[in-house]
Amino acid sequence: MKNAVILLFFAPLFLFANATKVPSKIKEVTVYLSGAQITRTASCQLHEGSNEVVFTGLSHKIDESSIQISGLGAVSILSIIYNINYLEKSESNPKVSQWEDEIIRLEHEISLLKNAITGLEEEEKLITSNRVVNGDSQVLSLDRIKQIGAYYRERITAIKNEVFTTNLSINKLKTKVNDLKLQLAEVHNAPEVPQGEITITFDAPVATSLNAKLTYLVRDAGWVPNYDIKSSGLSAPINLAYKANVYQKTGQDWNNVHVILSTGNPNYNIARPNLETKYLDFVSAYQKRYAPAAKKKGYAFNPNVKKVVGTITDESGAPLPGVNVMIKGTNKGTQTDFDGNYSLEVEQGQELVFSYIGMHTQELPIYSSIMNVRMDEDVQRLDEVVVMAYSTSAVTESVSQERLLSGRAAGVSIRGNSSFRSNPMEPLYIIDGVPVDGFVEGDLDTNEIQDMEVLKGANATAIYGSKGSNGVVVITTKKSHAQEGATKTEFAIKKPYSISSDGDITAIEVNTFKIPATYEYFAAPIINENVYLTASFTDWEKHQLLPGEANIYFEGTYAGKTVIDPYTTKKEMVLSLGIDNNITVSRQQERNFKSKSFTGNNRILDRTYTLEVKNNKGTAIQLKLMDRIPKSQNKEIKVDDIVTNSAEYDDEKGLLTWKMDLAPNAAKKESFSFQVKYPRGRYISL
């Protein structure tokens, strides 16, 4: 009985000892936007019956549920176990021995050079000790003295020069040796990486030779789309180079493997949503009644981005100042400036959260160093903000102390400040330093506002005396305007690649396309008074583009960086090739504060705008100029008397478009006007 117990105790050791360790080789890697599928091949001999085979030298970041093996024939699988072996580390950098041999060779060369210097120094000592030219037994002639002196001078000079140049060579070799030693130290100090092992128990009906294919998913790998867009001139097509920046830190190098790039992402939850019946009932006024649909999950995290910049706009394209941009899961973030721009270091983050009062909060993976975001209005939340601004004095006070720049928050702010309007006495309005009697909010287009500040109490009366007792609204207007499988596509790369497990980028060219393009200058001065050169093209869908950064080159010069985002592009893709400062555009509103009119219980606002474009270039240009007329979403607000003059007008969207041909140094003016009618005592933001 005792012997039986001992036998049972050692049985696992016997089984482990009988396990066959089999090396395998990576033949193919399918790289997803996040993660990768590794395909390995291995050969081994199986005897009849049960065989335990251990596939060694694998990554320690394998998704165990993804392990598959094929090529079994009549062989069946009894069990599959994945373990991490912390005792056997992965092989060291294959260049280590090469570097060590190079250090030995360089140090040998340095020793030979030092020996040469020693010989030269001994020669110099010999010459110096025998330089006496006059002895007791011999008197030398003057010519002989000159010959000896010339020899001493020439030889000593040659020796010192040779020693000098040899020392220079030694110093260069020492620098190389030092660099190699630093490289070796970095390798030796790097953390040792454990190995993954897959143990499979096979059942073979007869002895056979097994040629197996092993596949599994690994994390900490992926690829990021990147583009180079080049154009040689305004009549040339666009050359678009579609590239992939591949990275991996799986613990195993991919040496000379076949690479497939896939637009799929196996990490997403692929369960389809279930749409059920919605039953209406009364809810709390502050209970959220609407949630936006989940966004398309096409953006992938780019681990190489260390800093993100971008511009945040509203649905109309106007910049949003004061938007909170936070790294998810941290307290690190920033806010957009007056022009809706932001900049944020993101070395420790993977997602950004964009939030703003009255807008739906957005969360996006950090997929690019440029992330421009359009925020959609959350009507429910905006209504709640307005109600609170009217009903809570503390909130009203908070809003009134805000400095609202560029007119972007004026719509919300005016609602908050309109507690003034509910009082019999009006606040004092100061516009560009001049008091304006009878001013009504809406007389001034919010796009004309550079700065607005509300003063109350002692702050108001200290500056404006008793006239400021009901509050003062100080407005400064702008003097100048500031600026293909069923579910995925795969790209099989013909050339094999080696990709080290160090996280560094390996750039792989996916494809290049020559695309016919249409060039034109574009300006929308209601948003930005810069004039942009643009290139537009269609049929971009057939190229399977993904969101990614693009480097723009125009006429042989680097023009800058932009983002290609097919998820926000409709029929035509438009790329900006840069700003042309030799074309100017301005937008002015005709102002007349005394021309207010009322009809019964309605307030009427007349708006007329003049747009002027000047071509200061030495060549003729074609320019697309755009503006807009507001559209009403409330039956009590009516937009009438629309005069578009020569503009093309999209009545559904309210957009105005002018196509201009401008000769060199030519200028052109366009104008449009409209009238807005709404109930007296209510307020709008044009």
CA 556 to chain centre: 24
Backbone torsions φ then ψ of 244, nearest 5 degrees: -130, 125
Look-up of token digits 């056979």: 208
Strand partners for 667: 614
Task: Name the E strands within 516-572.
Answer: 518-524, 528-537, 548-554, 557-564
Phi-psi region of 173 (alpha: psi -120 to 50; beta: other; left: phi over 0): alpha
Cβ contacts of residue 520 below 8 Å, gap of 6+?
A: 533, 534, 536, 622, 623, 624
| pLDDT attached to residue 16 | 44
Residues of the chain with pLDDT under 70: 1-18, 88-94, 131-140, 187-192, 267-273, 280-298, 379-425, 440-443, 445-448, 450-451, 478-488, 569, 592-599
Backbone torsions φ then ψ of 283, nearest 5 degrees: -130, 170
| pLDDT attached to residue 599 | 66
Structure confidence by residue, pLDDT tens digits, 71-98: 888 889 999 999 888 776 555 556 777 8
Q: Where are the domains of the chain?
A: 2-89+198-219, 96-132+142-189, 224-253+500-581, 316-377, 392-477, 584-679
The CATH class, in words, for 584-679 is mainly beta
Structure confidence by residue, pLDDT tens digits, 503-560: 888 898 888 888 888 899 999 998 888 999 998 888 877 777 888 889 999 888 888 8
Cβ contacts of residue 669 below 8 Å, gap of 6+?
A: 610, 611, 612, 613
Phi-psi region of 81 (alpha: psi -120 to 50; beta: other; left: phi over 0): beta
What does each C-alpha distance from 509 to 492, 495, 497 come to in angstroms?
Answer: 11, 10, 11
224 C-beta neighbours (distance < 10 Å), count: 24
Strand partners for 674: 607
Per DSSP bridges, beta strands 351-355 and 324-327 are antiparallel
Go through 330-352 and write b for each residue having 16 or more CB atoms within 10 A of its CB, e for each that does not. eeebeebbbbbebebebeebebb
| pLDDT attached to residue 89 | 57
Cα distance from N-terminal residue to C-terminal residue, the chain = 96
Are 354 and 333 in contact, with CB atoms under 8 Å apart?
no
194 C-beta neighbours (distance < 10 Å), count: 17
In one letter, which amino acid is 7? L
Are 254 and 248 in contact, with CB atoms under 8 Å apart?
yes
The CATH class, in words, for 316-377 is mainly beta
CA 584 to chain centre: 31
Look-up of token digits 């992330």: 371
CA 414 to chain centre: 36
Judge if pTM exceeds 0.85: no
CA–CA separation, 526 vs 406, rounded Å?
12
For 414, counting Cβ atoms within 10 Å of its Cβ (0-12 exposed, 13-18 middle, 19+ buried), the class is: buried
Q: Which two tokens stand for residue 273?
A: 């949503």
How big is the chain by its Cα radius of gyration, in Å?
A: 38
323's enclosing H/E stretch is none
623 C-beta neighbours (distance < 10 Å), count: 21
Cβ contacts of residue 60 below 8 Å, gap of 6+?
A: 84, 193, 194, 195, 196, 251
Strand partners for 637: none
| pLDDT attached to residue 194 | 81
Cβ contacts of residue 284 below 8 Å, gap of 6+?
A: none
